[in-house]
Amino acid sequence: MIEPGRVAAPVPTDPVALSGSGGAETTTIVLLPRADGLPDIGWVGPRLGEGDVRALTPPASVETTAWNSWLIGSPVSLLPEHSRGYLGRPALLGHRVGPDGPGGDWSTAFGPASVRCAPGSLAVEATDKSAGLELRFEAEAVAGGGLRLRHLLTNTGSGPYVVDALDVVVPVPPGTGEILDFTGRWALERQPRRRALADGHWVREHRRGMRGLDGTGLVVVGTPGFGYGNGEVLGVHLAWSGNHRYAVEQLSSGTAVVRAGELLHPGELVLAENDTYAMPWVQVTASTRGLDGLADATHTYVRSLEAHPPAPAPVMFNPWEAVYLDHDLDTLTALAEISAALGVERFVLDDGWFTNRTSLSDGLGDWASDPGTWPDGLTPLVDRVHELGMEFGLWWEPEAVNPNAAIFRDHPDWILRTGDRLPVLERDCYLLDLSRHEVRAHLLDAFDRLAADHPIDFVKWDHNRDQIDGGDSRGSGRAMARRQTLAFRDLLDELARRHPGIAWESCASGGGRIDLDVLERVQSVWTSDVTDPLSRQSIQHWTAQLAPLEYLGAHVTAPLSHQTGRTSTLDLRAATALFGQFGIQWDLRTVPPHELDRLARWIELYKRHRVLLHTGRLTRIELPDGLLSHGVVAQDRSEALFSYAQLDEIVHVPPRLRIPGLDPARSYRASVVAPADPAVVWEVTGMQASGAALGALGLPGPERASQSAALVHLQAI
């Protein structure tokens, strides 16, 4: 086995292994050498020990390629190539435009390869001199025990090389028989879908130009029937907010792979001589503890990021569902004062504050307060919010403009477009070409002026329009999805650098831009535009597969949902919001005093437990349809808090709540902690049991009405 720091060149003879670090479980990738080309991937999955890795080394009497075939069936190269006999989709698709026209160098044959190992990383380098290309594969161990992988491709030949696709491809672990991914739409994001692994291609493609509401975000393959706490699983996530493609491919030979990469429009990526394309990182995480094991590893990684919020999330009030675009200083001041009295810590002024914003079709792109609504600017409201001891936040959507906005009238050439035509209107707006220096400078200047005039603590960055017909505004019309995504990232990075005291939230028609690339840059995400707790229970339950609870914006709204028309109790709405960044979107002037008092008690409960909620391990419990249970267990297993939600009627006796993840040798005392709800009967307060008993036998389930939730706290004694 190659030791860290040693260079193996030109061709290693021993397996090369890299394992993740810093997690309850770790992921291992093992590369098996080939004398004539790139290494094969012998293993991607739960950690292998050194002895297991050495067992992959062929005996001296056996040819390497034959040995690799025996180990893993048809070998899966680090970069599957048509020239090496791979009959599925090659990992690299492209061609050179030469003197004779396009189509040259379409089939590559990289190798032999050199390998460099260092603590926590490895790199493989290879050349195809005939095709005029160099390839570099990089693997890094990340906090939480996972790995991230990517390819870099350099054009060393003469003439441009057109890259159509470049994917990270990894073999599925032995025993894999099932695929889990996610779909959705507006107000119903991240709905799980399962299917059996079978011959052929299963593909998910996304062309919206941002992380879409129907985008999967994550593909999990695993042993049949894997669940929250059981089964061997491998999770693959492309850390990229733009167009993307995931696929699971099984050949008739039995070889099966999972792959991920950026989806490139025709002609979008052309490498001039000596240009390099670095594809987005692909996060690969394995677990023998099912989906919660994957979530634990990913949450540990996200919590290690520099951008991770330094403290548990404050209680937020956002007046959107209270006033929508009807902004009035007296009304908003009254809402701020009631909020502060309840214990709210952050007041966020949503859409409607800027020039001519009389409807969703007007004003977008002109980032100055409306002089009619705000004759003295936002200062009176901002000052009052700060006097009340709350932070002040602001909504903006810098990437989009309405046709009647001054910025569009003054600079119609700044719009993403293909050729001479304007793209179709969507949500009554177009998109600015962020790749242009003057566009970024305009937006930076607009925000700098806002921040200079008003102390801003938080920004809700929204993005509501798909990138339809998004071509280069400078006239070429070439597809711009990749450059637009990179420019969005650069703009956010620059704003964060200029304004280090601001916390940033990602919002895109609700939960449309939630991925690890964005989570490296923001402190929260708006999980969904739907605030109905019945919808939110499932959305938050599955969004937490990737993003820790402390990122998930979750608000208590009016009893009658503005999106679904359903009515729900305050306790269900608040119990749902508790497992996220607790907030309120409700016209508090209309709330009866006894309901305000009850809401204040929920805020107090959130503050009491938010350190646990925002640092603990996510744990979900297998229950029949119509029931959802999730919670967090403290890292030291000293306490836990669980929600038990009945979303629909059930005709059987409530199932027992078996709680995994506690210390089996310690005893715990149970207590129902939510404010009393007469619809909930759960007589477990005062019960004591060991962690082993709670995991094996559990607590009796509550007898309760549909559309209700109860919370139980477990404290080690």
Which residues form the catalytic set?
A: 462, 529
Phi, psi of 113 (to 5 degrees): -115, 145
Question: Cβ(21)–Cβ(144) under 8 Å?
Answer: no
Instruction: Enter the DSSP assignment of 281.
Output: P
Q: Is 220 helix (H, G, I), strand (E, B) or coil?
A: strand
Tokens 């280090």 correspond to 500
Question: How many residues in the chain?
Answer: 717
Tokens 């919590």 correspond to 303
User: CA 179 to CA 224: how far, in whole Å?
Assistant: 9
Q: Is 331 helix (H, G, I), strand (E, B) or coil?
A: helix
Residue (of 118, 137, 115, 111) closest to 12 by Cα position: 115
User: CA 410 to CA 209: how far, in whole Å?
Assistant: 25
User: CA 12 to CA 35: how far, in whole Å?
Assistant: 8
The b/e string for 251-289 (b: 16+ C-beta within 10 A; e otherwise) is beeebbbbbbbbbbbeebbebeeeeebebbbbbbbbbbb
354 token code pair: 């800027």
Question: Cβ(189)–Cβ(513) under 8 Å?
Answer: no
Peptide linkage before 160 cis (omega within 30 of 0): no
Identity at 431, one-letter amino acid code: L
Q: At what angle do helices 593-613 and 329-342 cross, to 10 degrees?
A: 60
Identity at 86, one-letter amino acid code: Y
Residue (of 95, 89, 91) closest to 155 by Cα position: 95
Phi, psi of 234 (to 5 degrees): -130, 120
What is the distance, to the nearest Å, from the Cα of residue 400 to the centroid of all Cα atoms in its chain? 22
Q: What is the dihedral of CA 214, 216, 222, 226, to 10 degrees?
A: -50
Tokens 């129907």 correspond to 214
Tokens 């704003």 correspond to 495
Instruction: Enter the DSSP assignment of 449.
Output: H
528 token code pair: 């969904």
User: CA 596 to CA 587: how far, in whole Å?
Assistant: 11
Helix (H), strand (E) counts: the chain: 14, 39
Q: What is the dihedral of CA 140, 211, 546, 222, to 10 degrees?
A: -80
What is the distance, to the nearest Å, from the Cα of residue 129 to the centroid of all Cα atoms in its chain? 39
Q: What is the dihedral of CA 515, 519, 524, 528, to 10 degrees?
A: 0
User: CA 317 to CA 307: how far, in whole Å?
Assistant: 23
Phi, psi of 89 (to 5 degrees): -75, 125
Q: Output Rg (C-alpha) for the chain, integer angstroms.
A: 27
Q: Residue 421 pairs with which residues in a beta bridge?
A: 418
